[in-house]
Amino acid sequence: MMEMKSAPISNSERIVTIDIIRGFALLGIFLVNMPAFHSPAFMVSYPDYSGVNYWLDLLFQMFVQTKFYTIFSFLFGLGFYIFMSRAEQKGLKINRLFSRRLFALLLFGALHIVFLWYGDILHTYAITGFLLLLFYKRKPKTLLIWAFSLLFIFHALISAPFLIPATEMESIAAGLDQEEAAKLGEYVDMYENAPYLEWVSYRLQTEMGRLLANLPFALFNILALFLFGLYAGKRGVFKDVSAHLPMIKKVWWTALILSIPLVTFLALYKMDVIDVGVYQQNAIYLFTSLSGLTLCFFYISSLTLMLRREFWQRFLRPLGYTGQMALTNYLLQTFISVGIFLGLNFYGKVSLATGTLICLVIYAAQTLFSYVWMKNFRFGPFEWLWRTMTYGYIQSMKKEEKLSNSNRQDTGV
């Protein structure tokens, strides 16, 4: 008996709801990332906006910041379950297969972060994904216990500064402000004027240390969201939405009720209506993170319920095409943005509002590109490369291509 080769999921087996939610998350992530593409956000932790930019920043903080990478993290955990369960049904070596998938993702992330942009999330997902392998066989209840425990630890850590005396906090904040101010001019100059290789070298020296130091801290939150996604996969929530409507509606109401006070307090802190002095930014960070979790589940459950109606299926379907090739579009957002702001010398010269408009135009173009591409091909370009590296043989790309050997038929993984 010939060995069956592993292969990716076929289009007929895709869950369109997941693709649309992923496309929606991709837009939110781009909106959040855009200021870091056109401005020195790495060095200016808390930019001082005015006019329309102030209100736009407030809206972003309330409804966008941390609300979308959490959705992506949830979907990664869900995708992990779909991948592993389908591979397991075919008798494949699931841990080895998924490990190859993670190593390929880690390579993409490493190249992305070194040669293009410090805000890469792929390397974090890849590293955290290896921890996810420990939970595949765990019971759904166990996954929830771990997820909530990790969230508690994460938010306890980001609340720790409230225990530091105000005088010490003032000293720490002053030191950080001085450090940022001292390096800001050099940082902007390198981004605006340095040759490419010199720019890469400077970034590695200036940005990499802080990014690596933050990595263990980020694992708590991201792994928790992975586990929620794995839980949803084990429960079959998106496989049979109708059977899980009571639970989805319960999540929707719970997320909404929790989000209202969290977002309200976040706005009050952000607008300085509530002032806790030197702890102000810590309070904003805490409520941004907490509201990011609740709105993440509010957005996911809202879209899931909306997509039960044919009107919303048709209206939001274009997001599904961008979601199907999310890796390609995520990386394209960096290529395009770096090309515009560094290549065309617009870095530091674009306001938050203008950057947001540019972001929306690029995303609209990506949606059209994704629609045309997915009409002709089975995968996006980087999805094709990722799958080829995962499964160990070149995937057929065009939709009309048929695998000549019956043993290379799509296994639904």
Residue 152 one-letter amino acid: F
CA nearest 390: which of 101, 125, 102? 101
Q: Are 359 and 30 in contact (CB under 8 A)?
A: yes
Residue 39 one-letter amino acid: S
- C-alpha–C-alpha distance, residues 31 and 20, integer Å: 17
pLDDT score at 46: 79
Secondary structure (3-state) at 22 = helix
How remote is the C-alpha of 383 from its chain's centroid?
16
Q: Are 40 and 184 in contact (CB under 8 A)?
A: yes
Question: What's the chain's length in residues?
Answer: 413
The more confidently predicted of residues 72 and 2 is 72
- Which pLDDT band, with edges at 50, 70 and 90, does 13 fall under? very low
pLDDT score at 130: 97
pTM of the model: 0.91
pLDDT score at 2: 34
278-308: pLDDT as tens digits: 999 999 999 999 999 999 999 999 999 999 9
User: Looking at residue 343, what DSSP letter applies?
Assistant: I
pLDDT score at 413: 39
**What one-character-per-residue DSSP string does 132-162 give?**
HGGGTTS-HHHHHHHHHHHHHHHHHHHHGGG
Mean of the per-residue pLDDT values of the chain: 91
pLDDT score at 9: 42
pLDDT score at 14: 59
217-274: pLDDT as tens digits: 999 999 999 999 999 999 999 999 999 999 999 999 999 999 999 999 999 999 999 9
